[in-house]
């Protein structure tokens, strides 16, 4: 009896162990996450320079993709850009908690190559090129390009690129040649060398591949079944930041701002100083000045100018116009959300955009109407009041050549005549002398 019990006990635990092993194996072999949707960020002309605005846009896109639990695709066609912005984008992709796919449209050079390396999947259009990552310094005045070979700068870039490449198992040797020798390769060589995963004819073919594709990260498999792609719209602030990051534009803005300030101080036209101050602030953004600080200063100064124009200065002029311009630009550069870790909803971002546009259009429209009316009034010829031909009533006798009084439209006027006129008689005004005395005559029936 005991032998039979022991036998069945052994059989039971054997079956239980086999079932547990089968379940565990099935769970381990199945993809942990499936992606059916994706967000698309386009780093393509005219927004193809890797700058702070583009970096902020892509970081926002990564956060949105993580919040929604969808994959991220970013299309790159760029000659490169700024190193800090490239590191910001690269780190965001490297740390992303969702599947990431980089697609090279025609070229991804310099910082453009740096930002595609950490992606889970790198696809390149047939005939496209990548590489040429050796850092350079461009003189914004002359346009002269100087290659950098200092190890203090080269080594951090090289190490960071190797960290990006290691996770996806990319060819670190070739990536090192991109940095040290400014080497560039075409899509075919990139795939054969193990830097790029896929070579496709176009973006449509990539989407077909991503509709049934599996990737592995950290020993975990992720199934891509992407059937819907939504284009991510960068914020107005990010786009403005990209524009203001242009070194050539920054030089122009700062130069005009400084020259305008000198002109205003010398000529005494102090009303234009807020505008020159605004140009200098906007120009300094490209040097690293935080746009949040610029936004705050512009909003504060714009509010002060509007208050001065409305409550202190008569009429409406350059001070009020300057206030509207500063407020509009300040709101446009305002962050889309307070960076406390909570991701803003699309409705919130849309509301912020509508508020910025609404404030600018409303204030601009109102004060534009005021300015139009003022200008219209100034263009009109002055209307001279004359009582000639009007009928008045005598309230004090008028002797010939002497002064008396008449009542005209409820007002008392001094009057004179060549004839005698009694109280209560009606008279007609012939003219008004320069001293304000009316020349009248009797009204004939």
- In percent, how much of the chain has pLDDT > 90? 37
Q: Domain 31-234: which CATH class?
A: alpha beta
Query: pLDDT tens-digit profile of 242-256?
Result: 888 888 888 888 888
Query: pLDDT tens-digit profile of 324-359?
Result: 888 888 888 877 544 433 444 555 555 655 666 666
* Nearest residue to 165 via CA among 174, 156, 152: 174
Query: pLDDT tens-digit profile of 63-94?
Result: 999 999 999 999 999 999 999 999 999 999 99
Task: Indicate the Cα dihedral angle 94, 172, 77, 66, nearest 10°.
Answer: -10
Q: What is the mean pLDDT of residues 147-159?
A: 88
- The domain segmentation of the chain, as residue ranges, is 31-234, 238-379, 391-442
pLDDT at 369 over 80: no
Is 2.40.50.140 the CATH number for 391-442? yes
Q: Do 31-234 and 391-442 agree at the fold level?
A: no
Query: d(Cα 150, Cα 225) in Å, to the nearest integer?
Result: 45
DSSP H or E run through 397: none
Q: For residue 314, what pLDDT band results from cuts at 50, 70 and 90? A: low
What does the H/E/C string look like for 39-72? EEEEECCCCCEECHHHHHHHHHHHHHHHHHCCEE
Query: pLDDT tens-digit profile of 230-243?
Result: 999 998 889 888 88
Query: d(Cα 86, Cα 89) in Å, to the nearest integer?
Result: 5
- In percent, how much of the chain has pLDDT > 70? 79
Query: d(Cα 283, Cα 329) in Å, to the nearest integer?
Result: 13
Q: What's residue 341's pLDDT?
A: 37
Please give the model's pTM, rounded to 2 decimal places: 0.66
| Cα distances (angstroms) measured from residue 261 to each of 270, 278, 296, 376 | 9, 11, 21, 31
Q: What is the mean pLDDT of residues 50-56?
A: 93
Give the DSSP letter of residue 423.
T
* Nearest residue to 431 via CA among 441, 443, 422, 421: 441
Q: What's residue 23's pLDDT?
A: 47
Q: What is the mean pLDDT of residues 14-35?
A: 53
Query: d(Cα 347, Cα 350) in Å, to the nearest integer?
Result: 5
Q: What's residue 340's pLDDT?
A: 36
Please provide the size of the chain in residues. 445
């Amino acid at each position: 009896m005991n032998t039979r019990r022991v036998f069945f006990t052994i059989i039971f635990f054997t079956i239980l162990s086999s079932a547990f092993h089968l379940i565990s194996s099935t769970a381990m072999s199945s993809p942990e996450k499936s992606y059916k949707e994706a967000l698309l960020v386009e780093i393509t002309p005219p927004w193809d320079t890797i700058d702070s605005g583009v970096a902020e846009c892509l970081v926002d896109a990564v956060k949105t993709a993580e919040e929604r639990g969808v994959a991220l695709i970013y299309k790159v066609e760029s000659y490169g850009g700024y190193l800090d912005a490239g590191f910001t984008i690269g780190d965001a992709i490297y740390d992303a908690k969702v599947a990431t796919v980089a697609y090279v449209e025609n070229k991804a050079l310099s910082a453009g190559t740096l930002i595609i390396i950490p992606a889970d999947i790198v696809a390149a259009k047939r005939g496209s090129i990548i590489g040429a990552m050796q850092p350079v310094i461009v003189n914004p005045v002359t346009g002269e390009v100087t290659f950098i070979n200092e190890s203090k700068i080269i080594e951090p870039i090289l190490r960071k690129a190797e960290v990006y490449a290691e996770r996806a198992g990319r060819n670190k040797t070739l990536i090192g040649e991109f940095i040290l020798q400014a080497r560039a390769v075409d899509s075919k060589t990139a795939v054969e060398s193990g830097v790029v995963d896929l070579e496709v004819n176009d973006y449509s073919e990539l989407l077909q591949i991503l509709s049934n594709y599996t990737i592995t990260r950290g020993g975990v498999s992720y199934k891509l079944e992407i059937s819907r792609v939504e284009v991510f719209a960068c914020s107005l602030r990010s786009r403005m930041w990209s524009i203001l990051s242009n070194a050539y534009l920054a030089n122009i803005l700062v130069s005009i701002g400084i020259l305008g300030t000198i002109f205003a101080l010398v000529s005494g036209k102090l009303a234009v100083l807020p505008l020159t101050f605004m140009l200098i602030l906007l120009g300094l953004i490209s040097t690293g000045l935080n746009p949040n600080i610029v936004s705050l200063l512009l909003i504060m100064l714009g509010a002060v100018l509007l208050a001065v124009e409305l409550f202190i200065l008569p009429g409406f002029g350059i001070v009020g116009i300057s206030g509207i311009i500063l407020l509009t630009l300040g709101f446009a550069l305002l962050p889309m959300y307070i960076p406390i870790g909570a991701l803003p909803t699309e409705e919130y971002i849309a509301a912020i955009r509508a508020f910025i546009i609404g404030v600018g259009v409303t204030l601009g429209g109102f004060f534009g109407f005021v300015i139009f009316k003022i200008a219209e009034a100034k263009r009109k010829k002055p209307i001279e009041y004359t009582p000639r031909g009007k009928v008045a009533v005598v309230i004090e006798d008028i002797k010939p050549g002497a002064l008396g009084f008449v009542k005209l439209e409820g007002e008392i006027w001094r009057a004179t005549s060549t004839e005698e006129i009694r109280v209560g008689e009606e008279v007609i005004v012939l003219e008004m002398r320069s001293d304000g005395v009316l020349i009248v005559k009797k009204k004939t029936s």
